[in-house]
Amino acid sequence: MKGHITAGVAGHVDHGKTSLVRCLTGIDTDRLKEEKRRGLTIEPGIAPCPLPSGAAVSLVDVPGHGDFLKNTIRGLCSVDMAVLVVAADDGVMPQTLDHLEILKFMGAQSGIVVLSKADLVDDETLEMAELEVRELLEGTFLHGKPVIGFSALDQRGLHEILSAIETSAGDVCGRNADMPFRLWIDQVRSFAGFGTVASGTIVSGVLSREDAIEILPSKKQTKARFIEVHHKRVDRALPGQRAGINLHRISMEEAAVGMVLASPASLDVRYVFNAELSVLSNAPAAVQDRRRIKLYTGTCAVTAHVVLMDKRQIRPGETGLVQFRLLDPLALRPGDRFVISPMSLRRVMGGGVILEAAREKYRLVKSKPIVRYLEPLRAKDLEKAVGNYFQRELVSPVNAGDVARETGFDADRVHARIQSGVSRKEIFPVHGKGYFGRIRFDALKDRIPGILKEFFRRNPLAPSMKANEIRKQLAPLLDDKLFQMMLEELGRTGAIITGPGSDCRLPDLRIRLLPEQEKVAAILLRYAKESNLVPFSPGKFCRLNPMRRTFNAGEVQRILECLSGDGRLVRLNDGRYITPQALEEIKRAVRDKILEKGSLTLDDMKDVLGYGRTRGIPVFEYLDEIGFTVRTDDRRVLGPNANPPDTELAHHGES
């Protein structure tokens, strides 16, 4: 037997499920007064069942009455195998069918069938009941499994049932201990002196005493003060075990049935999930687009709208891709199972598997890439699923853990697939951050020249476009490192030109001023020359020029940007302008002072520039930006681009 196994004891009301569990375990799972009074199970009851080998399975006795469908699903949500109980005198009944479908949808892997009340029928009737059951089980996970007659009165068949449970448990794949811890809460109690204890079956991972825990969907943080497994204190609980966890400083209201306990940051809480939905062949009607249904998953039941993706409707017996839009958020993983029912009817009408915790609502205009991504998840094709993941609309690097969490595949297998993609150059590492897909990277990068082209069409006098503005239009949340890599690649190929301050422009950009604008440009250039080493602002020019009434301040600003774009003026960081010739003179003065003193401080500004800090600091910062100087604390030294004087004018296009 691989790990700890839970078996769901299911079947129609009054078919003897609780009596069977009592005979197998010695425990009466009907513990509520109401259950005793009415003689039927209302809440799922759990009992450890010792097996002939000395191992044990946990039996979950679920309600058989249709009024308690929610409780039945809650009890069967985490079972590994089934013990389907059918009364030999009644045969297959409505809840027999419903419970079998729930077990199938919840992923039960194996099991047995018990024909109870065998003492009430003759051999021929018992044989007919077995034939009816075997016919029902054709094509299901219980096809070909043992069908054993049993009587709670004389306990005939009891030893055969125990042996069959043990054999069937050997067919079950154990739960994953390497995944993050997760448990659906199915019971919450408060004990004097201890506080709140939440119980449930561990779906995955291992929990140790004092481990940090997150309660979802509230994201409340706590820790496991102590852990009990079948009423015994343990230091750690394993996947598949039923555990009671004492939650540190958590009230009964903060931990409720239907919530999840999980390792911190291991699950996303969402309102929208993409899934594969199968509608039962005996469902009362087809599932229509936007239909409101009740969704049962784990120990939770929520109202949701079904948005159909690949069909106009899902008829009885059909399967389709859907998006569930929930009224209340849930923390689900890809691979989680669910059941749906009509809002007005306590009957199972379908079920399936969660494929993705969706990032956004499904829209018809984006249907093709979404369906293309979901299909390999549906087929459990890791190769295609991971490849498609890196072609999605990602804006930042991801690691193998991120991909595993969002696709539901094992993290080690995902890591191996990523490395395969790296070797094929489909995926590349972003050092210190994770991995990114080449197709997605190129798709974003190739849009940048188009963004620049449209910008200059709308702003014909603009000398350049700010990099941050490009990113805002491209993808506002795009990772900065990735964006810089895109600009660098485009710059190396000559597709764009990047300048100081991350300004970007197209290589063939030619700005042509109108005759009237050229006249203003000539006045501006003359004014700049007269200002010599003193930078000037557009506002100062407009205030002091005798012809200011003929100038539009906005037009002056655009012409200045044009003049700085074609190299006739230099724009400093504070929006002031200076001529290239004046800048060269400043460079010579700065170089001479640094060569004389070894470094330059702000105290030297007046000697070098002839004016104070307000105007001088932007000049010094511009020299830092272009690499002419390098600032260390409050001192500046010559930088890597402090070229000899005879090469600098050529660098600025002057002669």
pLDDT at residue 651 above 60? no
User: For 532-644, where are the alpha helices, taking DSSP H only?
Assistant: 538-544, 553-565, 580-597, 605-609, 613-625
Residues 70 and 164 reside in one and the same domain: yes
pLDDT band at 574; cut points 50, 70, 90: confident
Please name the amino acid found at residue 484: Q
Whether 631 maps to a domain, the answer reads: yes
pLDDT at residue 441 above 50? yes
pLDDT digit string (tens) for 176-222? 888 999 999 999 999 988 899 999 999 999 999 999 999 999 999 99
Tokens, residue 352: 């399936």
* Predicted pLDDT of residue 649: 38
User: What burial letters (b/e) apply to 491-523, b meaning 16+ CB within 10 Å?
Assistant: eeeebbbbeeebbbbbeebebebeeebeebbeb
pLDDT at residue 7 above 50? yes
Domain that holds residue 590: 515-651
pLDDT at residue 650 above 50? no
Specify the CATH number for the domain of residue 552.
1.10.10.10
Tokens, residue 400: 């193998």
* Predicted pLDDT of residue 88: 97
Please name the amino acid found at residue 534: V
Considering the chain, what percentage of its residues have pLDDT values greater than 90? 73
Considering 104, 137, 169, which residue would you say is the last residue of a domain? 169
For residue 342, is the peptide bond before it cis, meaning its omega torsion is within 30 degrees of 0?
A: no
Q: Please state, in angstroms and as integers, the Cα–Cα distance from residue 355 to each residue in 258, 374, 375, 379, following that order.
A: 20, 7, 9, 10
pLDDT average, residue stretch 480-497 = 94
Considering 262, 286, 303, which residue would you say is the last residue of a domain? 262
Residues 138 and 59 reside in one and the same domain: yes
How far apart (Å, rounded) are the C-alpha atoms in residues 569 and 575? Answer: 12
Whether 386 maps to a domain, the answer reads: yes
Residues 25 and 138 reside in one and the same domain: yes
* Predicted pLDDT of residue 648: 42
Length reported for the chain: 655
How far apart (Å, rounded) are the C-alpha atoms in residues 401 and 379? Answer: 21
Tokens, residue 6: 């839970």
pLDDT at residue 1 above 80? no
Residues 280 and 400 reside in one and the same domain: no
Q: Which residue has the higher pLDDT, 260 or 596?
A: 260
Q: Which residue has the higher pLDDT, 329 or 567?
A: 329
How far apart (Å, rounded) are the C-alpha atoms in residues 328 and 271? Answer: 6
pLDDT band at 655; cut points 50, 70, 90: very low
How far apart (Å, rounded) are the C-alpha atoms in residues 48 and 637? Answer: 78
Residues 14 and 158 reside in one and the same domain: yes
**Do the Cβ atoms of 7 and 57 come closer than 8 Å?**
yes
Considering 388, 409, 442, which residue would you say is the last residue of a domain? 442
pLDDT band at 566; cut points 50, 70, 90: confident
Query: What's the number of domains the chain is made of?
Result: 6
Checking 586-594 for CB contacts under 8 A at 24+ apart, the result is: 586/533, 586/619, 586/623, 587/623, 587/628, 587/642, 587/645, 587/648, 588/645, 590/623, 590/628, 590/629, 591/638, 591/642, 591/645, 594/629, 594/636, 594/637, 594/638
CB atoms closer than 10 angstroms to residue 318? 16
Residues 410 and 556 reside in one and the same domain: no
Helix (H, G, I), strand (E, B) or coil at 517: helix
Whether 175 maps to a domain, the answer reads: no
Nearest to 19 by CA among 114, 137, 103, 101: 114
Nearest to 88 by CA among 40, 64, 121, 134: 121
How far apart (Å, rounded) are the C-alpha atoms in residues 176 and 202? Answer: 10
* Predicted pLDDT of residue 430: 96
Residues 236 and 287 reside in one and the same domain: no
How far apart (Å, rounded) are the C-alpha atoms in residues 10 and 113? Answer: 10
pLDDT digit string (tens) for 411-432? 999 999 999 999 999 999 998 8
Whether 510 maps to a domain, the answer reads: no
Q: How many helices (H) and strands (E) does the chain have?
A: 21, 33
3-state helix, strand, coil in the chain (%, to 5): 35, 25, 35
Residues 231 and 283 reside in one and the same domain: no
pLDDT band at 652; cut points 50, 70, 90: very low
Specify the CATH number for the domain of residue 130.
3.40.50.300
Helix orientation angle between 580-597 and 613-625, rounded to the nearest 10 degrees: 90
Q: What are phi and psi of 373, to 5 degrees?
A: -75, -40
End-to-end CA distance of the chain: 87
Specify the CATH number for the domain of residue 315.
2.40.30.10
pLDDT average, residue stretch 574-594 = 92
Helix orientation angle between 411-423 and 400-407, rounded to the nearest 10 degrees: 120
pTM: 0.79
Whether 374 maps to a domain, the answer reads: no
Residues 66 and 148 reside in one and the same domain: yes
pLDDT digit string (tens) for 85-137? 999 999 999 999 999 999 999 999 999 999 999 999 999 999 999 999 999 99
How far apart (Å, rounded) are the C-alpha atoms in residues 16 and 93? Answer: 13
Residues 497 and 520 reside in one and the same domain: no
Whether 375 maps to a domain, the answer reads: no
Q: What are phi and psi of 6, to 5 degrees?
A: -115, 130
How far apart (Å, rounded) are the C-alpha atoms in residues 244 and 232? Answer: 9
* Predicted pLDDT of residue 546: 66
Please name the amino acid found at residue 502: S
pLDDT band at 366; cut points 50, 70, 90: confident
Residues 26 and 132 reside in one and the same domain: yes
Residues 455 and 418 reside in one and the same domain: no
